[in-house]
Structure 1
Amino acid sequence: MTSAGTPGGDRVRVVVTTDPELDDLNSMLRLVLYSNEIELAGLVYSSSMFHWAGDPARGVEPFRWPPAGARGHIDQAIDAYERVHDTLRVHDARYPAPGDLRAVVREGNVSTEGDTRDATPGSDLIADLLADDEPGTLVLQAWGGLNTIARALMSVEERHAGSPGWDALRARIMARTVLTSWGEQDSAFAEYIRPRWPELELRQVATVAWGYGARQVTPPATHRFYSAAWTREHVSRVGPIGAAYRVWGDGLQMADGFDKEDCFGLRGLSREELEDRGYQVFFPVEEPGAFISEGDSSNFALHVANGLRSWQHPTWGGWGGRQVPDAEDPYRWSSDRFSMDFSKPPVDWGDAARWVPAFQNDFAARLLWSVTDDYADANHAPRIEVTTGLDVTATAGERVVVRWRVEDPDGDPVDVFAWQYREAGTCPSAATLTRGDDREVTVRVPADAAPGQTVHVILEATDRGEPPLTAYARIVLTIADETEA
């Protein structure tokens, strides 16, 4: 069965490097609710062009960094998780022990922007993972700068370059390691990683649909999921994890002292009044209690086992958005239509807006799990199995019948909707989908489909529980040459 709660195969190992931005805290709080589906091999503090800890010995002052002794946002998220861990395990026994998460927390390279000067506990953890013999993919996520990851690669090079097995190790690392990042928040990738590791895959997963400007790039129908009313009911008032989630007007700051870009905690002031006080207000002021941002969630949303299989290829798309090839770098992928130039007219950057309701409802359900100690009193995602197979070979003009089975662990009715994901497929024409009964759809492949092209059909299975939860199945039809079919 493919479901939101059952991984499709072995879980990849993931290391998160993150700076102390408020949206990183929010993404970390969501991440721990998905730690049952993702093997977290490292949670590492890092710097970026927006945050660094400073280095008194070199006369570098801290910039937007929590004061010494303050609990960092990774630790804050684990603290909240620890309070509800036993309750979460009622809903999925795979939730890791809080101590197991704490065991992989490290401080990485934090002293300055782009800091790679010395090896750190965080970079050493990553370096050891890069060079180990474990099978499978290793995913290194940069929620801030890529500098700690770069320092880890430097350490691997320092330890092994010139040894008899160096060429093989270097090739193996590039073949099995994937970087994901929300933009390039320092120069480490351009200056070191790409020149020295030219075949290391980078997926840029930046999408504004989960960021500060979410309302400017998503349809009005989705905006209720960012509203103060929805956020209070489904997040802020739901247990310790929800209470730790940053919202507009919550009275909090990212660091001590005045920060002209950190006006989110203030309430009762208009944009003009904030600007009169010296703040730079990049996005419209929202009502107290409303969603601010958790832009880095697109990094780990790739690995949520919801049936979209978005991890299998950057162009396939899913809750974390969709990536397209870079015109100049064959090992680099960028979010579809994304631009760091927010002065341009807003669009659905990252192709993520279509998934907002489902991902938000799933978040709300998991928060409810954290405060519901009886499995029967909470909602859980349905499961959908495609009995005719997920990967199908077809010919141009052929009619392909897709059949499925659906189960819901709570006994709720489930509605299944089938649609063609045009952007994900390589066939530019539209397929025709004709529903049969509740368990069947016939897909007519476009008559002009060329051999090697693909058509992606998505099945959305949404239950009628509260909140409604969605699981998916992606059927990929690959067009064969009629003479070979």
Structure 2
Amino acid sequence: MRIVEGYRFVRNKYFFLLFIQVILFASVLNYSCKNNNKVHKEELEGLQEKTKTRVIVTTDGEGDDRMSLVRFLLYTNEFDVKGLIRSSSKFHWKGRGDVPGYKWKDDAWIENHIEAYACVYPNLLLHDENYQSPEELKKQVLTGNIDLPGDMEFETPGSNHIADVLLDPDTSAIWLQAWGGSNTIARALKTIEEKYPERKTEVSRKARLFLIMFQDSTYHSYIRHSWPELTVIVSTAFESIGYPWRKRVPEELQQYYKGTWMNKSILFNHGELCNIYKERLYKPNRRTGDFISEGDSPSFMHEIQNGLSNTENPSWGGWGGRFKREGGLWVSAFDDNDKFKTIYRWIPAFQNDFAAKADWCIMSYDSANHHPVVKISSKENLIEKSGKKVIIDASMSEDPDGDNLSFYWWQYIDAGTYKETISLKGSKEAIVSFLLPHDIREGETIHIICEITDDGIPALTRYKRIVITCG
């Protein structure tokens, strides 16, 4: 009798354990099916670009500079900030001797922004540990040539700091952003020319100067002829995110600049840093919350590592605009005969990106949205013969939050040198295919953009650019 009871016990125990295993297997399978696009947070850094772009900001303290700096600080996880330098312009200067200043505001505004950034910095670290510390940012704040418009007569702490960075042993690119005039940058270059003329070629190779129009005379009076090998980009398409945006941006895209969107996404309940932005938009004569201007933001939006790879070639185009070579400069180019489209075509993506960063100031990791990780089966630069069928698979792309992903493949015609439209099969699927046209000439290029957007709130977009050269 005891043997039979023992057998029954063993048999029941066996079925019980089997039942538990089945339940566990089903749970794992269900989790896997629900999270097939998910990449864990700790794996994310290995999948995204890790190299931080070196940047130096020079600013004249214009009102829209102060709003640009709010957005800029939210991207210090992607930038290695090597300088935040006060400078002048033809619109703002401090004054010297008998020459009075013009529209010059407080000197400490950059430090005040960093103090507000310090308040949200611990929460930003929950989302990306690469955010630059407030202490390190404060060390980068210096005063450059601020007395007069176009002033580059004397060396200043700011100009000498820029010169030191340009002369350091790091050969990686350093992006010099002129949110105001280029005079402090020009003074740094003149110091190098005077003291280390043998190093001009070396400096020219790694310096990248991004101007928001010509806000003083120093490019034409000095930089152009003394530094002819320097890469210089000048944007005149910035009005898509500047004061005249209502005239430049199509009506259907203006919703991302209107108070309804701004109030919810940026201005209210997003921490101390975004409060600075709100204070600029909610002055006594402004009550709607409508966007005013960030005319200088294209100078750093150009360097955001979103997968468009436009820093490799200014003619490729990205969030900061697209450019063409003209007279030793890179100047704003045209998309569909509209230079402002080179920026406004990206408005939904870069504004939602801004909104997500604002959420990071206050939300936990699990409550906020994060960028999808784009993976493609091919190289990003292909050489193919005419008539060749090209297949590119992006189905291995992932999302850190397990969000569903939508795919959109499109031909960036203005960025390529082959100007006819090609047919993309599966343009809204994970896998796209197309034939390299028979009339494409050797050396001509076609740019295909893989645009992947998640269904989180706000929806976030990342890209891969595939450049096919006929060879």
TM-score, normalising length from structure 1? 0.84
CA distance in 1, matches of 2:427, 2:227: 51
Counterpart contact for 2:391–2:432, Cα < 8 Å: yes
User: 1:158 Cα deviation (Å)?
Assistant: 2.1
Name the counterpart of 2:141: 105
CA distance in 2, matches of 1:5, 1:348: 36
Name the counterpart of 1:136: 172
Q: Going by fraction, where is helix more abundant, 1 or 2?
A: 2
Match 1:476 to one of 461, 467, 470:
467
2:67 is aligned with 1:26? yes
Q: Cα 1:353–1:444, aligned 2, differ >3 Å: closer, same or farther?
A: same
2:232 is aligned with 1:239? no
Counterpart contact for 1:208–1:350, Cα < 8 Å: no
CA distance in 2, matches of 1:247, 1:222: 24
User: 1:47 Cα deviation (Å)?
Assistant: 0.2
User: 1:219 Cα deviation (Å)?
Assistant: 1.5
2:223 is aligned with 1:204? no
Q: Cα 1:427–1:347, aligned 2, differ >3 Å: closer, same or farther?
A: closer
Name the counterpart of 2:108: 71
Name the counterpart of 2:187: 151
Which runs of no fewer than 5 residues in structure 2 stay unpaired? Answer: 1-38
Mapping for residues 274-285 of structure 1, pairs under 5 Å = none
User: 1:6 Cα deviation (Å)?
Assistant: 6.5
If you compute each CA radius of gyration, which structure gives the higher value, 1 or 2? 2
Q: What residue identity is the alignment partner of 1:302?
A: H
Name the counterpart of 2:374: 384
User: 1:11 Cα deviation (Å)?
Assistant: 2.5
Name the counterpart of 1:410: 401
2:257 is aligned with 1:226? yes
TM-score, normalising length from structure 2? 0.87
CA distance in 2, matches of 1:446, 1:402: 17
- Cα deviation per residue 1:28-87 (whole Å; 9 max; x = unaligned)? 1101100000111111010001000111xx2111101114xx532x22321111000000
Q: Cα 1:7–1:211, aligned 2, differ >3 Å: closer, same or farther?
A: farther
Counterpart contact for 1:247–1:290, Cα < 8 Å: no
Q: Cα 1:65–1:437, aligned 2, differ >3 Å: closer, same or farther?
A: closer
2:58 is aligned with 1:17? yes
Q: What residue identity is the alignment partner of 1:408?
A: D
Q: Cα 1:5–1:190, aligned 2, differ >3 Å: closer, same or farther?
A: farther
Mapping for residues 294-305 of structure 1, pairs under 5 Å = 294-305=294-305
Aligned length: 426
Name the counterpart of 2:412: 421
Counterpart contact for 1:4–1:383, Cα < 8 Å: no
Q: What residue identity is the alignment partner of 1:182?
A: I
CA distance in 2, matches of 1:5, 1:294: 32
2:81 is aligned with 1:40? yes
Q: What secondary structure is seen at the aligned counterpart in 2 of 1:23? A: helix
Q: What secondary structure is seen at the aligned counterpart in 2 of 1:84? A: helix
Counterpart contact for 2:281–2:291, Cα < 8 Å: no
Tell me the C-alpha RMSD between the 2 structures.
Answer: 2.1
CA distance in 2, matches of 1:477, 1:297: 30
- Cα deviation per residue 1:260-280 (whole Å; 9 max; x = unaligned)? xxxxx624xxxxxxxxxxxxx
Counterpart contact for 1:3–1:471, Cα < 8 Å: no
User: 1:399 Cα deviation (Å)?
Assistant: 1.5
User: 1:7 Cα deviation (Å)?
Assistant: 5.4
CA distance in 1, matches of 2:251, 2:386: 38
Counterpart contact for 2:383–2:469, Cα < 8 Å: yes
CA distance in 2, matches of 1:128, 1:437: 49
Q: Cα 1:311–1:193, aligned 2, differ >3 Å: closer, same or farther?
A: same
CA distance in 2, matches of 1:442, 1:132: 46
Counterpart contact for 2:90–2:215, Cα < 8 Å: yes
Counterpart contact for 1:325–1:334, Cα < 8 Å: yes
- Cα deviation per residue 1:320-373 (whole Å; 9 max; x = unaligned)? 1111111x22xx1011249xxxxxxx955261111000000000001000001x
Name the counterpart of 1:336: 333
Q: What residue identity is the alignment partner of 2:118?
A: E
Q: What residue identity is the alignment partner of 1:186?
A: D
